[in-house]
Amino acid sequence: MEVLDALAQGFVTAATPVNLLYACIGVLLGTAVGVLPGLGPAMTVALLLPVTFALEPTSAFIMFAGIYYGGMYGGSTTSILLNTPGESSTVVTAIEGHKMARSGRAAQALATAAIGSFVAGTIGTALLAFFAPVVVRFAISLGAPSYLAIMLLSLIAVTAVLGSSRVRGFSSLGLGLAIGLIGLDPVTGQSRLTFGEIQLVDGIDIVVIAVAIFAVGEALWVAAHLKRSSAAVIPVGRPWMSREDWGRSWKPWLRGTAYGFPFGALPAGGAEIPTFLSYVTEKRLAKKPEEFGHGAIEGVAGPEAANNASAAGTLVPMLALGLPTNATAAVMLAAFIQFGIQPGPLLLEREPQLVWGLIASLFIGNTLLLLINLPLAPAWAKLLQLPRPYLYAGIIFFATLGAYSVNLQWFDLVLLLVLGLLGFMMRRYGLPVLPLIIGAIIGPLAERQLRQALQLSAGSPTGLVNEGIAVATYVIIAIILVWPFVTKFVGRARTAPTHPTPTPTERT
């Protein structure tokens, strides 16, 4: 029950008129930017970060909550009305959503996405409120060896599980870790990879890295391959659903939530797997499976709910362990650090007002999203017709403004350009960008845990494995790393004598 008390306190913090106003602004800004093609939730949050820096932390994070859910909702609007989504987590939504829109059911697709997001977001946030303290209690008992192991797990899981090519994922991770090394070594005070440049001694601001890789890299990449004929946007009225649509949607919402939250909450989370699982499940359970592929509402309702529930789940390791597991959480962690707040097990104890205020404002933001966005959907759809030169020039302009306003240093803009070109190269050659961001953030944290663990054991490597959780985590890491080779080997041994082709069921 102490959770409920704390949450009530959080609502007291969040529901002041001024903070409600910030939540409203956050939802509107987040949706408006998130709707714009090419801007996923992570980029939305990164671009809008500087706007929140001038506020006091509590108000800033309340605005953040609005931006977070707003950006997510905006992204799914884009994928339904325009197809080919910007963020991998809405890929599945686009499959059926865009088909629905093309057959004149855009209003229903948007409605089931919005209401499903609301349902999943609300349940997910409630689960977050109850689980975060539990995870914190568990996390406090962990020592440096276990932290190190869990951090390595999330680095390796993000790199190895997502994406199509492992070597390209690990290359990206290596780049991120190298960027994370730049600056003063916190223990000995020696500067690493600064090449005598004073501006690099403090390391590179995560905001600059995120804006460069997500925004500048993306804008340059699109500029190099800009479609000259603009995509057709499907006009839409006010979203609504018939009784039959409700009947077909509510179970997928709940099932999607059940898939999404646990996957989001794992240190190796992400929305790709649960949205995909939800889609497959709904296809199997549907009364009219033949509709799948031609615009089945279940195929929008389930994955959208899974996506939002996973977003809420992601905040569990973010708040309780200080571990970001997707791009948006990584940017949020950067925001915390910018405010001088270190997420982790002690956060809940030291800054209860901020944490519970944030959780309460997630509820508020989620509700505002539904109230504001259902009537505004036609207006958002118009944003999709923004001429592309303005859109991408605008991204470059605001990325520059954001990165510059953090320290008012032109040197940050040099970094923005260099890292932006790196982001361009990565998109050109299929290196995923997420491992880079996560590596740059978690790398330094993991190094600190490594040095602490071995300090306690006076340099003996047994100091790395003297906690049960650490050992178990290393076993999981080993399985993740070895698994592809095992399936390959077994698959070959099993199929070689009769069929040369691998069985499709083994590739999930």
Of 53 and 250, which has the nearer Cβ to another protein?
53
Stretch that binds another protein, among 178-186, 319-327, 358-366, 471-479 (CB under 8 A): 178-186
Stretch that binds another protein, among 10-18, 197-205, 321-329, 408-416 (CB under 8 A): 408-416
In angstroms, the CA 212 to CA 90 distance is: 22
Stretch that binds another protein, among 253-261, 289-297, 299-307, 481-489 (CB under 8 A): 481-489
Instruction: Please report whether residue 417 would count as binding another protein according to CB under 8 A.
Output: yes
- Alpha-carbon distances of 211 from 26, 50, 155, 199, 454, rounded to whole Å: 18, 11, 21, 18, 35
Of 138 and 397, which has the nearer Cβ to another protein?
397
**Which of 428, 468, 475, 478 is in the footprint of another protein by CB under 8 A?**
428
Of 251 and 451, which has the nearer Cβ to another protein?
451
Q: What part of residues 293-352 is at the interface with another protein (CB under 8 A)?
A: none
Does residue 361 contact residue 57 with C-beta atoms inside 8 Å? no
* Smallest separation, CB 11 to another protein (Å): 27
Instruction: Please report whether residue 283 would count as binding another protein according to CB under 8 A.
Output: no
Instruction: Please report whether residue 98 would count as binding another protein according to CB under 8 A.
Output: no
Instruction: Please report whether residue 481 would count as binding another protein according to CB under 8 A.
Output: no
* Smallest separation, CB 384 to another protein (Å): 9
Q: Which of 440, 437, 443 is nearest to 43 (CA)?
A: 437
**Which of 15, 20, 24, 181 is in the footprint of another protein by CB under 8 A?**
181
Does residue 379 contact residue 238 with C-beta atoms inside 8 Å? no
Does residue 13 contact residue 356 with C-beta atoms inside 8 Å? yes
Instruction: Please report whether residue 188 would count as binding another protein according to CB under 8 A.
Output: yes
Of 38 and 133, which has the nearer Cβ to another protein?
38
DSSP string, 183-216: EE-TTT--EES-TT-GGGTT---HHHHHIIIIII
Q: What part of residues 100-159 is at the interface with another protein (CB under 8 A)?
A: none
What string marks each residue from 226 to 255 as x (binds another protein by CB under 8 A) or -?
A: xxx-xx------------------------
Stretch that binds another protein, among 120-128, 200-208, 375-383, 479-487 (CB under 8 A): 479-487
Of 1 and 408, which has the nearer Cβ to another protein?
408
Q: Which of 465, 349, 362, 387 is nearest to 19 (CA)?
A: 362
Instruction: Please report whether residue 495 would count as binding another protein according to CB under 8 A.
Output: no
Of 174 and 378, which has the nearer Cβ to another protein?
174
Q: What part of residues 434-463 is at the interface with another protein (CB under 8 A)?
A: 443, 447, 450-451, 454-455, 458-459
Q: Which of 219, 5, 254 is nearest to 120 (CA)?
A: 254
Q: What part of residues 356-395 is at the interface with another protein (CB under 8 A)?
A: 387-394
Of 298 and 447, which has the nearer Cβ to another protein?
447
Which tokens go with 79? 């994928």
Using DSSP, state whether 184 is helix, strand or coil. strand
In angstroms, the CA 122 to CA 364 distance is: 9
- Distance spanning both ends of the chain, measured CA to CA: 41
Instruction: Please report whether residue 421 would count as binding another protein according to CB under 8 A.
Output: yes
In angstroms, the CA 418 to CA 402 distance is: 16
Stretch that binds another protein, among 133-141, 323-331, 332-340, 420-428 (CB under 8 A): 420-428
Amino acid making up residue 301: A
Does residue 47 contact residue 402 with C-beta atoms inside 8 Å? yes
Of 4 and 486, which has the nearer Cβ to another protein?
486
Amino acid making up residue 174: G
**Which of 26, 86, 121, 435 is in the footprint of another protein by CB under 8 A?**
86
Q: Say how many residues touch another protein, by CB under 8 A.
A: 91
Instruction: Please report whether residue 214 would count as binding another protein according to CB under 8 A.
Output: no
Instruction: Please report whether residue 164 would count as binding another protein according to CB under 8 A.
Output: yes
Stretch that binds another protein, among 134-142, 250-258, 259-267, 482-490 (CB under 8 A): 482-490
Of 12 and 187, which has the nearer Cβ to another protein?
187
Of 342 and 405, which has the nearer Cβ to another protein?
405
Using DSSP, state whether 183 is helix, strand or coil. strand
Buried b (16+ CB within 10 A) or exposed e, 321-336: bbbbbbbbbbbbbbbb
Of 287 and 499, which has the nearer Cβ to another protein?
499
DSSP type of residue 345: T
**Which of 16, 342, 367, 487 is in the footprint of another protein by CB under 8 A?**
487
Q: Per DSSP, what are the bridge partners of residue 192? A: 183
Does residue 35 contact residue 74 with C-beta atoms inside 8 Å? yes
Does residue 433 contact residue 209 with C-beta atoms inside 8 Å? no
In angstroms, the CA 6 to CA 350 distance is: 14
Instruction: Determine the length of the chain.
Output: 508
Of 170 and 250, which has the nearer Cβ to another protein?
170
Of 15 and 391, which has the nearer Cβ to another protein?
391
DSSP string, 283-336: HHH-S-GGGTTS--THHHHHHHHHHHHHHHHHHHHHHHH----SHHHHHHHHHH
- Residues contacting 336, CB < 8 A, separation 6+: 342, 343
**Which of 27, 67, 82, 100 is in the footprint of another protein by CB under 8 A?**
82
Does residue 53 contact residue 92 with C-beta atoms inside 8 Å? no
* Smallest separation, CB 447 to another protein (Å): 5
